[in-house]
Structure 1
């Protein structure tokens, strides 16, 4: 006879995690969807990622795809870069905070 809340089912939390990953919404916005609370989903995501759950899911999915359709590595390629884009532009210099700074400048020294 405890006073703690019941544990949210793993499948429901996984649905919430996939929703965040698929839509790109913030973790805090997940609570508004009604799937599960953002804190539950985020804490379980961190625990599962550390335990390698998502890596195992990925391997299972690849194996299932290989069994059903087959993977053809002859046409696949991997590309990546860790360099800044050549036309990425420059960083913006610090900008004054408009009204706040103007008010300070307009004050008299009396």
Structure 2
């Protein structure tokens, strides 16, 4: 069931637009630690939270990612301008016409969450 929801939240076409816009991960100088969680899984979980309006802490465990990781990555990507770049890509027509309204709704929700966190 989660795969069906994930593919509806972030279609392959949308992911093809988003993936190159995601900033590269910072190199951990100390090495070791856990491997970085898949960007697509994180992005899908973020889209779920943004589109559903649920609190971060209510993110279903079935997404396979932890709430702190998703929230931390949302903050990281916000600080690095992902949502601004995605909005620009959508305005330039990178997203298909079927997805333009969806991505605008997600971006508006991202702006509201980021502004709320900043205040």
Q: Which runs of 4+ in 1 moved over 3 A?
A: 65-68
The answer as to whether partners of 1:13 and 1:41 remain within 8 angstroms in 2 is yes
Identify if the C-alpha distance between structure 1 residues 22 and 11 changes in structure 2 by more than 3 Å, giving closer, same or farther.
Answer: same
Q: Supply the RMSD in Å over aligned alpha carbons.
A: 2.4
TM-score by length of 1: 0.52
Give unpaired runs (5+ residues) of structure 1.
69-110
TM-score by length of 2: 0.49
Instruction: Specify the alignment match of 2:74 in structure 1.
Output: 45
Of 86, 91, 101, the residue aligned with 1:62 is: 91
- Provide the C-alpha distance between the structure 2 equivalents of 1:58 and 1:35, rounded to a whole number of angstroms: 27
Q: Please list, as runs of the form range in 1=range in 2, the aligned pairs for 1:52-91 lying within 5 A after superposition.
A: 52-64=81-93
Of 12, 16, 20, the residue aligned with 2:49 is: 20
**Which has the higher relative contact order, 1 or 2, with Cα contacts under 8 A spaced 6 or more apart?**
2
